[in-house]
Amino acid sequence: MAEQRRPGATPPGFESPDFETDTSRTVTPRETPAVPSGNVLSAPPRPRVPPGQGPAAPGGPARPPPAPGAPERRPVGPSPFLERRAPSPPSPEARRVISNLPTEQLPPVPADQRRTAPPAPPSMDLPSVIVDQRRTAPPVPTSELPPVPVEPRRQTSGAMPAASPERRSMTGTMRRAAVPEGGGASSSPGFWPNQPRTLAETGLTATMVEELVLKAIFFAGEMRGMDIANRLKLPSTIIDEILEGLRRQKYIDIRGGGGSGVGKSTMIYQLTTFATDVLRQILDRNRYNGPAPVSLQEWIDVVKKQTVRGNRITRQRMEDKFGDLIIRDYIFDGIGPAMNSGRAIFFYGPPGNGKTAICQGMVNCFDGEIFIPHAILIDDFIVRIYDSILHKPIEDDGSQPYDRRWVRCRRPLVVVGGELTLEMLDLVYSPEVKYYEAPFQMKATNGMLLIDDFGRQKVSPKDLLNRWIVPLESDVDMLTLHTGKKVQVPFDVFAAFSTNLEPSDLVDDAFLRRVRYKLEVQPPDEELFHQIFEVMCRKRGVPYDADMVQYLIDAHYKPVGRRFAACQPRDLLDQMIDMAYYRGMAPQLDQDLVDSAVRSYFVRFDKEKR
């Protein structure tokens, strides 16, 4: 005879999960008491009365029993779904209709069904549509609602009164305003990365995070749970889940033991011998040991939200952001429209007149702050973007949490000069660590890229310009993996080219067509030279003497026809300060110091004629 199994027993060959092993449960689904249906707010059921023996309606005969097959007539009364609302008095039209009806057509309303809703508190005196929406929507604090006078409700007989459009729209506006978007200030970023709560919200697989955890423990020897979370820039709840999974696979263990469910973040984890082969395979693939990456598509979407294009920069804002830098009006008029467009600009002119300093002031004019990821993931290859030398992070006050895989920074200014080569403009793969370093233009995304001393690079200007033609035209850049695969990334960069060579020897018509803005940075005149000298004396803490500056011009510039340069006041003043300290005197504009600085600074190396 077959063995009789008790209801709910586990079939042979299957193991019940932990949450189903509660043996204290004795009530099976069949033994569960039935719950009466109907609205819980309706009146309690009355005892059944045989047909024909019910109470007679006042002023009329007893109600006859319903005929066989006829639909059951229910007493007319307030709907149980509207019992929470206080009944409104009938309108004059409804009173006239009711007064004209015969008395026998008005069945009595039982006293137990004449329930009225308790009066609403004064703070929740909202239209009925908003009251009904509160059943599913989260409550809004009364302090967030504007003091709008409540209009008297219409006296209607059946339809529910709707909220006025003004009240409805104002309520929605206040709810949206209560949620800050990027901090609410003009200098706040246009994108705010929400902190992930689950592994799925990170956009990464469990295998990827497990590999990062194992590498972090391997390079450190042993780590606490909170240190691993800080290393990967992921919440502790996600890391605790990954650590528990690695423990089940016996890849890690807790040093010294301890409960797995209590204080996981304070536990110290170390690798076991079972992780040796797996870790060798992981390190052969890549040795990246840092914050968890974000997906390529997520980074592309964020770049579009933080674009450097389409700014609204005014002349007044530019004057405030350039500080002590003395800029002529024609330079403001030239760089202002270029920054509003976000397109490339080409500077040319003699050396030493502040082309690089102008670019450093231009990047401060852009609105907002941006988020830069530590690294991104391209086809299971990690590309590191954040650079602690190029990117300037902003101190976080901790008022609003965000995804720590992103770094809140100022818009970057990346300057490259004569060291630039074509290989540096593509993904740089290191065979030793087996991950990529982003090129310069990728690190300058949502910021500014200055190619200084253009024409003095090791590569020919023609090849370098051909490399920039496609990004400048289509706002996308094509990068190549070491496997040979091409990857398309956004080129959201305000590019600036600066040269002190003859432009006609460097660029062609195709390049000039794509670089819409061209600006010649001219040397200063005598009046501007005095102004620059005064500013530099103030910054260096040296008393300014206009007569000594004029002596410098009359004695060492005009007789030899020497041209002014914007960098000369700074350089000559620094040399005078060094000579003054050497002679044991206070720095000042002295004639002897001026002559000594000129002899050391302006030197011509002419070939001796033999």
Spell out where 250-389 has E strands: 252-254, 268-271, 294-295, 345-348, 370-373, 375-378, 381-384
Average pLDDT over residues 10-21: 39
Distance, CA of 392 to CA of 411 (rounded, Å): 8
Average pLDDT over residues 302-312: 89
Give the CA count within 13 Å in the CB-facing half-sphere of 108: 13
For residue range 98-148, list pLDDT tens digits in order.
444 444 444 454 444 444 444 444 443 433 333 333 334 444 444 444 444
Give the CA count within 13 Å in the CB-facing half-sphere of 139: 6
Confidence band, pLDDT 50/70/90 cuts, at residue 297:
very high
Q: Would you state the pLDDT for residue 130? A: 34
The mean-pLDDT minimum among 68-77, 436-445, 565-574 falls in 68-77
- Assess contact for 495 and 472: CB atoms under 8 A: yes
- Assess contact for 370 and 446: CB atoms under 8 A: yes
Distance of CA 393 to the CA centre of its chain: 14
Spell out where 110-198 has E strands: none
Direct distance between the N- and C-terminal alpha carbons of the chain, in angstroms, rounded to an integer = 125
Confidence band, pLDDT 50/70/90 cuts, at residue 65:
low
Distance of CA 375 to the CA centre of its chain: 15
For residue range 398-424, list pLDDT tens digits in order.
778 899 999 999 999 999 988 888 889
**For residue 562, pLDDT beyond 50:** yes
Q: Would you state the pLDDT for residue 524? A: 92
Q: Looking at per-residue confidence, does 298 or 314 come out higher?
A: 298
pTM higher than 0.95 for the full model?
A: no
Q: What are phi and psi of 134, to 5 degrees?
A: -70, -10
Q: Would you state the pLDDT for residue 324? A: 76
Q: Would you state the pLDDT for residue 579? A: 94
For residue range 475-526, list pLDDT tens digits in order.
999 999 988 899 999 999 999 998 888 887 887 777 778 888 989 998 999 9
For residue range 240-285, list pLDDT tens digits in order.
999 999 999 999 998 865 444 456 778 899 999 999 999 999 999 9
**For residue 449, pLDDT beyond 60:** yes
> Which residues, 6 or more positions from 199, have their beta carbon under 8 angstroms from its beta carbon?
206, 209, 238, 241, 242
> Which residues, 6 or more positions from 448, have their beta carbon under 8 angstroms from its beta carbon?
308, 359, 362, 363, 366, 411, 412, 413, 414, 493, 494, 495, 496
Confidence band, pLDDT 50/70/90 cuts, at residue 168:
very low
Distance, CA of 470 to CA of 448 (rounded, Å): 18
Question: What distances in angstroms separate CA 152 from CA 19, 126, 237, 533, 588, one per listed residue?
Answer: 55, 11, 51, 74, 81
> Which residues, 6 or more positions from 15, have their beta carbon under 8 angstroms from its beta carbon?
none
**For residue 327, pLDDT beyond 80:** yes
**For residue 159, pLDDT beyond 50:** no
